[in-house]
Amino acid sequence: MGGSMAGLLAARVLSDAYDEVVVVERDTLPSAPTPRRGVPQGHHVHVLLEAGRATLCDLFPGYGEALIDAGGLIINVGEDLEQYEAGGFLASPATRMEMYCASRPLLEGVARERLAARDPVELRGGCQFTEYVVDDGRVEGVRVRGDDATETIPADLVVDATGRTSRTPQWLSEHGYDTPPTVEVEIDFTYSTIRIDRPAGNRRMLFVPQSAPRTSGGAAFPIEDGEWIVTLGGMHDADPPSTVAGFETYADRLPADGIRELVAERRVVSDGVDRYPFPSNRRRRYEALDDFPAGLVVIGDAIASFNPIYGQGMSVAALEAVQLHHLLASGDTDAIGPRFFAAASNVVDIAWSMAVGADSEFDATSGPTPTGAGLFNRYLNRLVRRAHTDEQLAEAYYRVVGMEEPPTALLRPSTVWRALRPAPGVGGFSAGRSALPNDRA
Ligand SMILES: Cc1cc2nc3c(=O)[nH]c(=O)nc-3n(C[C@H](O)[C@H](O)[C@H](O)COP(=O)(O)OP(=O)(O)OC[C@H]3O[C@@H](n4cnc5c(N)ncnc54)[C@H](O)[C@@H]3O)c2cc1C
């Protein structure tokens, strides 16, 4: 259920294990890469982290080539990315690190095309999932509504990939099950986005994420059709612009000039500004349920959705799909729901600790803070400052934020030493926050 990134990835792994896989998507599926109603975030910057890139390329051989053929770009982080954090730009990583850049509709469209080419798969657009068909504690199919008819699709396994507004919790409650405990961390985030023209051959990518106490941030990412997509974001009290005219003023508040200069110099090619409010990080702890119907799995944003500034959602969905693949490959699909939720929670834990850990640095963020976040943030702040001039630290940091390595990779003794050793000309070292004032715009 749901034909966005999590649904496509889940369908891909199901197609190895089942004779027939049906993707039920409420939207009519576009033939060209255009934003669609069910994925309104598709208007905004979408970074594909390394974990997502590698998994998409594994699951859909030729994904990268198809993306480039369709106009997407490969950038080299060291040459093309200008990332400003903790008062300076990160150094170029020690080795070449590639990143695919494209609009969200193109990233999804290429995955959809490659999925559609697989024999067991049928994509049904314009088809709305309405309810589960259950018998004796087992989900045995779904009811769906097309243009003018309702139909039952029987199924050995149903995957709910309907996103953050998934109705599975409500359905569980209506059918006598406990609902998953929900953790909500409020950040009151808003994205404002325009697209501007980009000269041929220019692959510059600029990223100035929020950094406590500065609640405003921005990004300019190169995408297909000779454009940059420019998103200005704001947490809590920050209010990103709702008019094109307001973009330059808001970008001027950022501590680095690049985004403001691009906005001032280039031609706006989008129709006005797209805005997207994102109130909270939200996690539904399905792994905590003792009783869950057989024949059902929930994946992607329907389990957890994170502050989008960290760019984790598609990669988390991809890593969860890999977990589903491992369970299906074992051939034992009994109680697959609880076993999948346990495996997926390990993936979510990492993304959650990074996103919520960073968001907890802002005083106005409300909700539970991951254990140890304060100490880790102070260490990370120190490491990022050192990464302004230390290319090995910059690389180690990029590999963690790209979800290629877990945050604990930053605690390897050699990395800790590079981050905490006394700077030349400075006596002693301290990981204390007072010694590490954050950049203020
Ligand atoms: C502003 C913003 C920016 C983001 N930026 C990034 C980023 O930079 N990098 C990144 O990796 N992630 C990013 N994300 C997150 C990313 O978009 C999602 O994590 C990703 O799309 C996976 O979500 P999903 O497939 O689980 O759900 P969704 O993308 O929400 O898709 C749900 C799908 O289910 C369909 N659906 C819903 N109900 C029904 C129904 N009843 N019947 C049939 N179909 C139904 C919808 O039409 C939709 O296609 C961002 C999110 C937001 C909000």
Identical fold at 5-72+95-183+281-354 and 185-279?
Answer: no
Pocket test for ligand 1, best of 46, 115, 171, 401 (most atoms within 8 A of CB): 46
Q: Does ligand 1 come within 6 angstroms of the Cβ of 103?
A: no
Q: Does ligand 1 come within 6 angstroms of the Cβ of 224?
A: no
Domain ranges of the chain: 5-72+95-183+281-354, 185-279, 373-435
Q: Which fold has domain 5-72+95-183+281-354?
A: FAD/NAD(P)-binding domain (3.50.50)
Pocket test for ligand 1, best of 1, 4, 303 (most atoms within 8 A of CB): 4
**pLDDT tens-digit readout, 266-299:** 999 999 999 999 999 999 999 999 999 999 999 9
> Which CATH number describes the domain made up of 185-279?
3.30.70
- List the chain pLDDT tens, one digit each, 441 residues: 999 999 999 999 999 999 999 999 999 999 999 999 999 999 999 999 999 999 999 999 999 999 999 999 999 999 999 999 999 999 999 899 999 999 999 999 999 999 999 999 999 999 999 999 999 999 999 999 998 899 999 999 999 999 999 999 999 999 999 999 999 999 999 999 999 999 999 999 999 999 999 999 999 999 999 999 999 999 998 999 999 999 999 999 999 999 999 999 999 999 999 999 999 999 999 999 999 999 999 999 999 999 999 999 999 999 999 999 999 999 888 889 999 999 999 999 999 999 999 999 999 999 888 888 889 999 999 999 999 999 999 999 999 999 999 999 999 999 999 999 887 655 444 333 333 333 433
Q: Rg for the chain (alpha carbons), in Å? A: 22
> Nearest 10 degrees: CA dihedral of 335, 337, 339, 340?
150
> What count of other Cβ atoms lies within 10 Å of the Cβ of residue 273?
21
**pLDDT tens-digit readout, 164-204:** 999 999 999 999 999 999 999 999 999 999 999 999 999 99
Question: In this structure, are residues 438 and 212 in contact, taking their beta carbons and an 8 Å threshold?
Answer: yes
**pLDDT tens-digit readout, 117-130:** 999 999 999 999 99
The β-bridge relationship of strands 81-85 and 73-76 is unpaired
**pLDDT tens-digit readout, 4-15:** 999 999 999 999
User: What is the 3-class SS of 25-92, one letter each residue?
Assistant: CCCCCCCCCCCCCCCHHHHCCCCCCHHHHHHHHHHCCCHHHHHHHCCCEEEEHHHHEEEEECCEECCC
Partners of 280 in beta bridges? 186
Task: Give the closest residue to 208 by CA, choosing from 197, 217, 199.
Answer: 217
The beta strand positions in 245-324, using DSSP E, are: 274-284, 296-298, 304-305
- What size, in residues, is the chain? 441
Question: In this structure, are residues 36 and 27 in contact, taking their beta carbons and an 8 Å threshold?
Answer: yes
Instruction: Give Cβ neighbours of residue 70 (< 8 Å, ≥ 6 apart).
Output: 33, 102, 106, 109, 110, 224
Partners of 24 in beta bridges? 124
Element (H, E) at 156: none
